[in-house]
Chain A
Amino acid sequence: MILPINIKFNDKTPKFYGEESGKKPDEMYDGDTLLENNFSTRARIGVDKITKAFTVYPVKGMTGSINSNFYEFLTMGNVPYIIGSITLMSIFNAYKSYAHRDKLRASQLGNKMALGVLFYGLFKEFSKNFIDKPVKWFTGIDTQIPYARVIHQLQQSPQDSDLTSIEYHKIGESVDFTRWDLLYKKTGTPEHNLIFDKIAKKNGLGENLNDSDQEVKPIYKEVLIKSNLARTISSYLWAAVGVGLAFQNSWKHYFKVMNFKIWQPKVFAHSIKIFGKSALKATESFLNGKEKSKSIAGKHSGKILLGTALASTILGLANTLHITKKPSKSNIKSVMNDKKETVVC
């Protein structure tokens, strides 16, 4: 006889702590904890990840810690991104020892390159909102909800006492192992399925559903996958738009007055003002192309690139919002045929 497999869930109810608990971030997680998806949280997570990517994780990795994991490896992926950007900027700005005229010419290209690297990152990150925000507005599904994951590490030496580490993940970062459990509210309360209820209502599945979670999960997963595709492809194309903008000649006006000395407000304000003007002119020349160019590519390459980025966003968004995995409306009556004999086991 094959017995059903009894899976023992951890009875411990996940504890949720709000900001009012007054605990410090690292102390407040008894277990995996859903976090608010707001600027403050994102900034805190970003700082935490970058800091650890440059400090804790490399040390753990280089010492061969048994507690190193895939999350740490992925987080360390920020290191080549940041150092690579700086190196790339340095390669094109390594002209300190050149003769004056050469230095001047090299610096023009170097500055453009540096701006290109910067715009690449900014446009790539910011453009993700073009997908995430509309998806949230239209489906009620926030694909970027963060949560703190508590890791209980193995003891490597008898002296090890602080064996808990916090990782920051997103509910939907895995479509195969989505953290549905964190989306439920307190067991046994009417709010248990609150998040799923809201999404079900938003997507026209109805209200007061007995199993809104079961109805919503396929939709949620579909949106996660499709929005991931749209976000990934479009963000790289928007990054290309950023690089294209950075390579316009009009930035030379800004490079002449470029200044980051915030403690000199007048000079800094002037620099920002010229940045704005240069940005406008750069946008104009990016869209209008080379004046005397006879080729279509020369004249319209900017428009084509922008159009491609826009199209990828719109198509990606349309595909994401076109949900195909909604549960069927069929009810039990249509499935069960009263006239036929049915065996229920």
Chain B
Amino acid sequence: MKTNLIQAYQTGNSPILQKYKSDKAAKDFDINKELSTHTFIKPLPGNGHLVKTNIFDIPSELFKDFKYSLNSVKHAITGDANDHELGKINDVGMKLGGLAIAGYLATRKQTPLTKVMEFVGLTSFFAAMDIWPKLALQLPAYLIHGVDVRQQYVDNYGRKKFFYQDHQFIPWDLYSDDEINKIGDRLGVDKNMKNRRAYIQEKMRKIALQNNTMWMLTSGIATPILSALICNAAEKPILRLQEKMAAQKANDLLKNVTQESQKYKFKDENKQLEALLETYKGKNITPEFIEKLSANLSEWYDIGTRAKLKQDLTNLFGNKNYNVDDEVLGNVYSALKDEFKKFKLDDEIINQIMPSKDEIKTSFIERGLLTEGIKDLSEHKKAINSLITRNVKTYAQNNPNSSVNNILNMYIKNLMHSKNKTDFSPLEKALRSNQSAKLTDGIISQIHSINTLMHGFISRVFVLDKYAYIRAAQAPETMLADNWNNITESLLKTFNFTDSEIKKSRLDRTFAGDILKEKFEKIVSDDELYKQTIEDLRKKLSELPTENVFGQESEQLKIGNAKYQSMVDDVFNAMGKKLSELGLDSTAAAVSGYDDSGRTSLKGIQKNFLTDRIRGVKSSFYRILNTLDFYRRVHEGMNFNSQTFKYLDDVSKKELLDLCKKTLIDGHLSDYSVKLYSKRSLDHLANTADKDLVELANDKNFFKAFMEIIYNEELNSKTLEGIKDTVFGSDFARYREDIFKFLGGYEYFPKRFHKVFDYEVKSGSDFKFNLLGSSLDEMFNNLCKQKFNSTKWLKTFGTIGAVLTAGTVLSQFFFGKLPGKENS
């Protein structure tokens, strides 16, 4: 507890009083006399001091502030806090609220980056609040005037405050004469001025007040803008860091698939399974039970595998023997009744021809059909049939003129047989309602084994899925997305898009396509420029993942991907084998396929996910290179080896080349699938034998020539030179071959996995789509849109921020002016 200043006077032995009695005090100073006359009451010298910290003190200062804030909360809880501490609680609350907002919004975001950015946003906001007055006010004021306008001091009670916080109470005594004079010198105050200290203090006060006011007026604009700019700048480094972490995480996942898979417990499913087994234990295995069981065991599987498992379980546990008892008889009777209703006959007729429950029972007893473990139910159907036939005959005899006599026999037929050959009739279903197989302990044990197997496998698949997601999913934080972003970001620079071109291209893909075409033509007509562009593309494309390799940058990833493929093989094949051993052959085939390739199975999907995703991305970039190369070849003259092309007349050649150039930029898969179906110029065909062939689809040579000259010709020598010895060279060559083969040849037409000329076609429409890649006009339209929007945003707020900063800094030159002649 601090000493009461007045009491300190009254205590004769106080060290403070001793100080006044020391030699340093005025010799004629008598405190008692002074006090008794009431003429002089002056506070004792305080313990306050200016805070003088440097950059190295920041951590300890932060810690002290944090501790002080915690103590403030503690004191406030007990009701002992003071004003200063309550002020600190506001900071605590603001940060707590900010964390709550960031935390909540992060839970609503999908990707790790966007989650992290919520907290970055919060931190940057608080940072901006702190940085702005320091950089735009405190620093310039110090450099220009030599006055620290955000000087802090610690008061008698250890409370840290801003020196110029309250202009009606500035503790000037904390500044020594020397310090004030030094500041005065910087301020250019006359050294011989009377009351120099007071004058300097007034100038300092004024500068500080003006800066404080400026702070309040500007921070409302500066803080959000600065915060947004910090977030903008922070996004990329965070993404890079996150990518590294994600790559590490992916590799760890692959290394420890078994360990990772054990994290999945399937508690709910196991609980439900036990409840189901408990309910049915010792009872008949009914179709309903099989349905519930397969649904439980295959909860996390795809619909195809679920169906196969159900089929296998039915074959395994649901034997074909049935019991026929009173309950079944009841079901049969109800089914008959429902069926008769559908005939829409009069109740009177139905009552006459429909056998009663007792009649059916008697008939079954007479024929020895009311028993258990029956495999064949045809006798039961015959018994019922004969009863109805007898009744129908009786009815016909009694009512020879009835209009329904002729159709009753047909009704009986419908009653006995289902219209749908794959399903049982309602009557048969009723007869089969009591399956004789029971859920024994042995079967329960078997079910437990299947359950362990199914969960063990799917949890491994979850781990593999995680790996595949991190590597190549359609999400902004994957490595593949990073490849895409890195390359596309530089493309506008590579093709030298100006601001006005970006502005125009963002509006529509047609504009983007036209501009791109002009650019390509310009580039290919300039040797140096072409060489440079190919070099730029080479550098970028080298970062692309090839068939089984994720670019050249990481050997670790290369191994990782190959390991993923073999891991998928191991996990899925092992599962297939174990399923077969348990007698679940159909499920095994659904999981691992019929042969090693596993093409039609879950394994195929798991493996293809990565390769398909990678193919889609790299094809888009290969398309740029191929287009550029084609433009170059056209520029160097139409020396194509294609015989089909050579046979075309000059006008058609020109027409074809135009179409090639255009399609390479804006063509979609549909353009290839309709063989560039479009009207051609009629004029030059008028005198030829092909005059009726006005549509490209009918001109077989036109499309053939198109594919040959684009994809089947040698690359231009300059292109070849530019990309030789690159990691993607052979992959690019295969890309061209594949397009020629799968988009231009006969293989284009058959369905996937069908055989043509004894050769199995592997290309599906998804494969073709991925192979062709994104159309260049759309790609550049999107790139320009992004570029324009982000540049516009940055320009708008960057300018506002820059103007505000400049204005704030410049305003220092108008601060601290006192009326009158300053140096007098």
Which A residues fall within an 8 A CB radius of B?
Answer: 1-3, 5-6, 57-58, 61-62, 64-66, 68-70, 73, 76-77, 79-84, 86-88, 91, 94-95, 97-99, 102, 106, 174-177, 221-223, 225-226, 228-229, 232-233, 235-237, 239-240, 243-244, 247, 290, 295, 297-298, 301-302, 305, 308, 319, 324-325
Does chain A have a CB within 8 A of B39?
Answer: no
* Closest residue on chain A to residue B100 by CB atoms: A240
Cross-interface CB contact of A305 among B78, B83, B100, B793, cutoff 8 Å = B100
The answer on a CB contact under 8 Å between A98 and B79 is no
Distance, CA A308 to CA B100, complexed state (A): 9
Distance, CA A327 to CA B41, complexed state (A): 34
Given A68-B209, A76-B213, list of 15 further CB < 8 A pairs? Answer: A2-B9, A3-B36, A5-B6, A69-B168, A79-B217, A83-B221, A87-B225, A94-B793, A106-B789, A174-B83, A223-B79, A225-B86, A236-B100, A239-B101, A325-B79
Does chain A have a CB within 8 A of B92?
Answer: yes
> Using Cβ atoms and an 8 Å threshold, which residues of chain B touch A82?
220
* Closest residue on chain B to residue A231 by CB atoms: B93
Cross-interface CB contact of A226 among B76, B210, B792, cutoff 8 Å = B76
The count of chain B contact residues (Cβ–Cβ below 8 Å) is: 67
> Using Cβ atoms and an 8 Å threshold, which residues of chain A touch B253?
none
The answer on a CB contact under 8 Å between A5 and B101 is no
The answer on a CB contact under 8 Å between B93 and A61 is no
Distance, CA A33 to CA B10, complexed state (A): 37
Does chain A have a CB within 8 A of B16?
Answer: no
The answer on a CB contact under 8 Å between A87 and B101 is no
Distance, CA A247 to CA B205, complexed state (A): 45
B336 to chain A minimum Cβ distance, whole angstroms, is: 46
* Closest residue on chain A to residue B92 by CB atoms: A233
B271 to chain A minimum Cβ distance, whole angstroms, is: 17
The answer on a CB contact under 8 Å between A62 and B213 is yes
> Using Cβ atoms and an 8 Å threshold, which residues of chain A touch B507?
99
Cross-interface CB contact of B97 among A65, A177, A229, A237, cutoff 8 Å = A237
B138 to chain A minimum Cβ distance, whole angstroms, is: 16
Cross-interface CB contact of B216 among A69, A80, A88, A91, cutoff 8 Å = A80
> Using Cβ atoms and an 8 Å threshold, which residues of chain B touch A73?
165-167, 212-213, 216
Main secondary structure of the interface of A (DSSP, over half): helix
The answer on a CB contact under 8 Å between B6 and A233 is no
Complex A-B, nearest 8 residue pairs according to Cβ-Cβ distance, in ascending order:
A61-B213, A236-B97, A83-B220, A64-B206, A80-B220, A70-B166, A222-B79, A240-B100
A114 to chain B minimum Cβ distance, whole angstroms, is: 12
A324 to chain B minimum Cβ distance, whole angstroms, is: 7
> Using Cβ atoms and an 8 Å threshold, which residues of chain B touch A3?
35-36, 38
* Stretch from B104-112, B316-324, B758-766 that touches the partner: B104-112
Mark out the residues of chain B between 668 and 695 whose CB falls within 8 Å of any chain A CB in the assembled complex.
none
Distance, CA A64 to CA B204, complexed state (A): 10
Does chain A have a CB within 8 A of B444?
Answer: no
B264 to chain A minimum Cβ distance, whole angstroms, is: 11
A79 to chain B minimum Cβ distance, whole angstroms, is: 5
A57 to chain B minimum Cβ distance, whole angstroms, is: 8
B108 to chain A minimum Cβ distance, whole angstroms, is: 7
Cross-interface CB contact of B89 among A62, A97, A232, A247, cutoff 8 Å = A232
Distance, CA A64 to CA B38, complexed state (A): 36
* Closest residue on chain A to residue B206 by CB atoms: A64
Does chain A have a CB within 8 A of B401?
Answer: no
The answer on a CB contact under 8 Å between A232 and B108 is no
The answer on a CB contact under 8 Å between B223 and A80 is yes
Does chain A have a CB within 8 A of B228?
Answer: yes
Mark out the residues of chain B between 45 and 79 whose CB falls within 8 Å of any chain A CB in the assembled complex.
73, 75-79
The answer on a CB contact under 8 Å between A243 and B101 is yes
Q: Among A65, A69, A228, which residue has the most Cβ atoms of chain B within 10 A?
A: A228
The answer on a CB contact under 8 Å between A87 and B220 is yes
Chain B positions 188 through 229: 1 when the CB is less than 8 Å from some CB of chain A, otherwise 0: 000000000000000001110110111011011101110010
> Using Cβ atoms and an 8 Å threshold, which residues of chain B touch A235?
93, 97
The answer on a CB contact under 8 Å between B108 and A301 is yes
> Using Cβ atoms and an 8 Å threshold, which residues of chain A touch B9?
2
Does chain A have a CB within 8 A of B94?
Answer: yes
* Closest residue on chain B to residue A84 by CB atoms: B220
Does chain A have a CB within 8 A of B259?
Answer: no
Which B residues fall within an 8 A CB radius of A?
Answer: 6, 9-10, 32, 35-36, 38, 41, 73, 75-83, 86, 89-90, 92-94, 96-98, 100-101, 103-105, 107-108, 165-169, 205-207, 209-210, 212-214, 216-217, 219-221, 223-225, 228, 506-507, 785, 788-789, 792-793, 796-797, 815-816
* Closest residue on chain B to residue A6 by CB atoms: B38
Would you mind naming 7 contact pairs between A and B with Cβ atoms under 8 Å apart?
A2-B9, A61-B213, A76-B216, A177-B83, A225-B80, A233-B93, A239-B101
The answer on a CB contact under 8 Å between A58 and B217 is yes
The answer on a CB contact under 8 Å between B86 and A2 is no
A139 to chain B minimum Cβ distance, whole angstroms, is: 13
The answer on a CB contact under 8 Å between B210 and A61 is yes
> Using Cβ atoms and an 8 Å threshold, which residues of chain B touch A244?
101, 104-105
A89 to chain B minimum Cβ distance, whole angstroms, is: 9
Distance, CA A290 to CA B224, complexed state (A): 29
Distance, CA A83 to CA B79, complexed state (A): 35
The answer on a CB contact under 8 Å between B108 and A58 is no
The answer on a CB contact under 8 Å between A175 and B83 is yes
Cross-interface CB contact of B167 among A69, A176, A225, cutoff 8 Å = A69
CB contact under 8 A between A64 and B209, given known A235-B93, A236-B94, A247-B108: yes
A59 to chain B minimum Cβ distance, whole angstroms, is: 9
> Using Cβ atoms and an 8 Å threshold, which residues of chain A touch B98?
236, 240
> Using Cβ atoms and an 8 Å threshold, which residues of chain A touch B167?
66, 68-70, 73
The answer on a CB contact under 8 Å between B92 and A324 is no
The answer on a CB contact under 8 Å between A70 and B81 is no
B299 to chain A minimum Cβ distance, whole angstroms, is: 13
Distance, CA A237 to CA B10, complexed state (A): 50
The answer on a CB contact under 8 Å between A233 and B166 is no
* Closest residue on chain B to residue A297 by CB atoms: B107
Q: Among A83, A95, A229, which residue has the most Cβ atoms of chain B within 10 A?
A: A229
The answer on a CB contact under 8 Å between A84 and B107 is no
The answer on a CB contact under 8 Å between B107 and A2 is no
The answer on a CB contact under 8 Å between B210 and A84 is no
Distance, CA A159 to CA B92, complexed state (A): 46
The answer on a CB contact under 8 Å between A228 and B97 is no
> Using Cβ atoms and an 8 Å threshold, which residues of chain B touch A57?
213
Distance, CA A247 to CA B118, complexed state (A): 13
The answer on a CB contact under 8 Å between A232 and B209 is no
* Closest residue on chain A to residue B797 by CB atoms: A91
Cross-interface CB contact of B221 among A61, A64, A87, A243, cutoff 8 Å = A87
Cross-interface CB contact of B81 among A77, A175, A301, A305, cutoff 8 Å = A175
Q: Among B38, B79, B97, B209, which residue has the most Cβ atoms of chain A within 10 A?
A: B79
> Using Cβ atoms and an 8 Å threshold, which residues of chain B touch A65?
209
